Amino acid sequence: MRLLIVEDEKRLAISLARGLTAEGFAVDVVHDGAEGLHRALDGAYDLVVLDIMLPGMNGYRVCAALRAAGREVPVLMLTAKDGEYDEAEGLDTGADDYLTKPFSYVVLVARVRALLRRRGGSASPVLTVGALRMDTAARRVHLGDAETTLTAKEFAVLEQLALRAGQVVSKAEILEHVWDFAYDGDPNIVEVYVSTLRRKLGAAAIRTVRGAGYRLEAL
């Protein structure tokens, strides 16, 4: 999944980005509201972590502008404020959840995963495709009774395919959601990870649809 962090406290933003990247997310970071809105409108993000007190354009205005433009991307608001009115104002502008600083990193990750599951239409963190089971909360994959160990990027690629099991997912879509905005390497990196997943899950697990992308098959 690809996340956008809009946070002007640079140390906090970098710390969050490093932690979420280690969890397998592709993360972009900006430090002011106007740039955050521009990036959120143009990018294919699965979730936005949005601070309220931002230079230039505050988080309330950013969120309201996103919703006015028809963007339904989940928004998790961060703020140093903790009053009920502040929380209500954030939710009224279209935010999906609200977290007050200082917060536990573990809680933030749990909120992020819950919002992503809700967006996918499932309250369960487990994705099941035939004999394949992906626990997106525990970051574990089982094929039948056997557990398969995946790296963070392998897990992220497989998750994109599992979320749309039976459908064709293009290489560009995988790149957009698994690699961050700054990635300018070879787009064939997707093929490398698909090849590795086939070795671990079986050659029949992921079918190449020539000229279109990849499809995860039920085993």
Q: What pLDDT does residue 84 have?
A: 47
Q: What is the pLDDT of residue 35?
A: 94
pLDDT tens-digit series, residues 143-159: 988 999 988 888 888 98
Residue 215 has pLDDT above 50, yes or no: yes
Long-range contacts of 140-144 (CB under 8 A, 24+ apart): 143/201, 143/202, 143/219
* Cβ neighbours around 17 below 10 Å, total: 19
Instruction: Give the model's pLDDT for residue 136.
Output: 78
Cβ within 8 Å of residue 206, ≥6 positions away? 161, 194, 197, 198, 214, 215, 216, 217
Specify the residue for token string 């919703």: 67
Mean pLDDT of the chain: 85
What pLDDT score does 123 carry?
52
What tens digit of pLDDT does each residue of 87-136 get? 556 566 788 888 888 787 888 888 898 888 877 655 566 888 889 998 87
pLDDT band, residue 195 (cuts 50/70/90): very high
Q: Tokens 């809105």, residue?
A: 37
* Distance, CA of 136 to CA of 119 (rounded, Å): 14
pTM over 0.85: no
CA pair distance 191, 17, nearest whole angstrom: 25
End-to-end CA distance of the chain: 24
